[in-house]
């Protein structure tokens, strides 16, 4: 799917973003016929409201899209993108004098994302309205972000029947081939031979072999390692989930989708870093060889882990991948995972809680997230809760009892496997848009990736 702007040389119909406060002055500047048309249509410049004004031959002379008021601006993102599905077929030219640089970039990106459709299994007509690249935006960057986001959405939206560990590997290899990266995979029993025992333990009950996907790109610059949870379907294992809780478990590989989408953005923009992407790809299934509650597993790091719930499997596979990443001591390790329901209770589906070992890194990401309207919220690596993940019979507990601080204790668990690298950040994402919104149809969605992309120059000093 190509999410791109139209030819900049094409003539375009003016598309005017309009705040409620500016409506009267704008109406006064129209000719009598246009003003009468706008008033008859009841146009109030509400958020996402669209007005197309005709010329004598019936073609669109100009169009306006409402931005609403100040309260609307704080409640909605990608408002202008709502116009794309409402405007007639044609090429439009967004006027920019009403928008600052960040608003303009958001508007242009939102327009591209509004063209996304997941049409692998059913026809999904795309909007016909096209947009010329607005003056002042970085076209290459926005199109790269849109392409990365489309990859994230496609991977998450694909059901587990067609997106198991092997298919996730194939997607990573295709991406690597497209950008001259190198991909290596450790599969099945070879995980034991290469000391990745917890990835093997979680995935061994499935007839779809578990694996570690290892992709590298770039030969110079700071070293960044992305680690993404790739649980392609999660039954909960022997601690089986209720049926209602399995309905969205195709998205439990959302962390792997996010790091692949972010990697695509980085590579397509040729950001001067050394990039490594690690994805433990498994299916948490049930069979006679499934790992059990009460088992004690030994991790790559040498730490032992008591299994108190087989449905807390994501942190197990991430732990081995993080330990592998840590051995190389990159400048920064980032993990992304659909890890805990506790994160959703804390901040809901829109916002991504994240953790950082360095407060300066957290501040950088928060600032970037605000600029690009990709909301995140910092939660603490709260040291006093460390005892909650120490069961006594083993070094670590994969599922502490009680209902408190579930996202924090999971993050603390992961931090135990990053001991030698200077900086680590973890994002506990949802990866799903529960109801359609401008530029975000119901389904898989990227979260935190645009904030991280914007933050990378400061995070890595490039």
Contacts (Cβ under 8 Å, ≥6 apart) of 32:
none
Coil, strand, or helix at residue 160?
coil
Q: Which residues pair with 333 in a beta bridge?
A: 225, 424
Distance CA 355, CA 362 (A): 8
Cite the DSSP H helix spans in 243-336: 243-246, 254-268, 314-327
What backbone torsions phi and psi does residue 61 show, to the nearest 5 degrees? Answer: -85, -45
CB 168 within 8 A of CB 256: yes
What backbone torsions phi and psi does residue 210 show, to the nearest 5 degrees? Answer: -70, 160
CB 358 within 8 A of CB 389: no
The number of CA neighbours under 13 Å toward the Cβ of 176 is 20
The backbone region for 231, taken as left when phi is positive above 0, alpha when psi lies in -120 to 50, beta otherwise, is: beta
Q: Residues with catalytic annotation?
A: 241, 315
Distance CA 64, CA 66 (A): 7
Coil, strand, or helix at residue 257?
helix
Tokens of 409: 């204790």
Determine which helix (DSSP H) or strand (DSSP E) holds 230, and give its type and residue range. strand 230-234
Distance CA 141, CA 139 (A): 5
**β-strands 50-54, 60-68: how paired?**
antiparallel
Instruction: Give helix then strand counts, H and E, for the chain.
Output: 15, 19
CB 285 within 8 A of CB 313: no
**β-strands 424-428, 352-356: how paired?**
antiparallel
């Amino acid at each position: 799917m190509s999410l791109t702007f139209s030819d900049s040389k094409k003539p375009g119909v003016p598309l005017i973003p309009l705040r409620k406060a500016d409506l009267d002055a704008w109406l006064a500047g129209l000719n009598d016929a246009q003003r009468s048309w706008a008033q008859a249509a009841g146009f109030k410049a509400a958020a996402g409201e669209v007005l197309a004004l005709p010329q004598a031959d019936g073609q669109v002379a100009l169009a306006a899209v409402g931005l609403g008021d100040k309260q609307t601006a704080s409640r909605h993102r990608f408002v202008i993108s709502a116009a794309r599905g409402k405007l007639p077929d044609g090429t439009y030219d967004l006027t920019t004098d009403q928008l600052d640089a960040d608003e303009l970039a958001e508007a242009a990106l939102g327009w591209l994302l509004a063209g996304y459709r997941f049409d692998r299994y059913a026809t999904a007509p795309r909007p016909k309205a096209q947009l010329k690249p607005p003056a002042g935006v970085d076209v290459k960057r926005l199109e790269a972000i849109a392409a990365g986001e489309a990859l994230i959405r496609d991977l998450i939206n694909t059901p587990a029947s067609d997106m198991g560990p092997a298919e996730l590997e194939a997607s990573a290899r295709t991406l690597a081939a497209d950008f001259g990266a190198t991909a290596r995979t450790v599969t099945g029993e070879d995980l034991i031979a290469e000391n990745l025992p917890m990835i093997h333990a979680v995935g061994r009950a499935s007839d779809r072999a578990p694996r570690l996907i290892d992709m590298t790109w770039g030969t110079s610059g700071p070293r960044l390692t992305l680690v993404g949870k790739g649980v392609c379907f999660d039954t909960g294992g022997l601690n089986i989930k209720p049926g209602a809780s399995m309905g969205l478990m195709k998205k439990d590989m959302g962390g792997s989708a996010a790091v692949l989408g972010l990697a695509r953005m980085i590579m397509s923009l040729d950001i001067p870093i050394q990039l490594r992407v690690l994805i433990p790809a498994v299916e948490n299934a049930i069979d006679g060889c499934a790992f059990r509650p009460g088992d004690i597993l030994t991790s790559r790091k040498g730490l032992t882990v008591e299994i108190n719930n087989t449905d807390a499997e994501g942190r197990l596979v991430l732990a081995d991948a993080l330990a592998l990443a840590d051995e190389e001591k990159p400048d920064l390790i980032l993990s992304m995972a659909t890890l805990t329901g506790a994160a959703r209770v804390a901040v809901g589906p829109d916002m991504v809680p994240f953790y950082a070992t360095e407060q300066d890194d957290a501040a950088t990401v928060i600032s970037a997230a605000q600029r690009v309207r990709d909301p995140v919220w910092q939660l603490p690596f709260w040291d006093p809760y460390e005892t909650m993940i120490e069961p006594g019979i083993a070094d670590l507990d994969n599922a502490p009892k009680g209902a408190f601080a579930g996202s924090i204790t999971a993050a603390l668990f992961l931090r135990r496997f990053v001991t030698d690298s200077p900086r680590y950040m973890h994002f506990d994402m949802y990866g799903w848009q529960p109801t359609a919104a401008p530029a975000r149809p119901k389904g898989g969605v990227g979260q935190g990736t645009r904030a991280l992309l914007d933050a990378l120059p400061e995070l890595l000093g490039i």
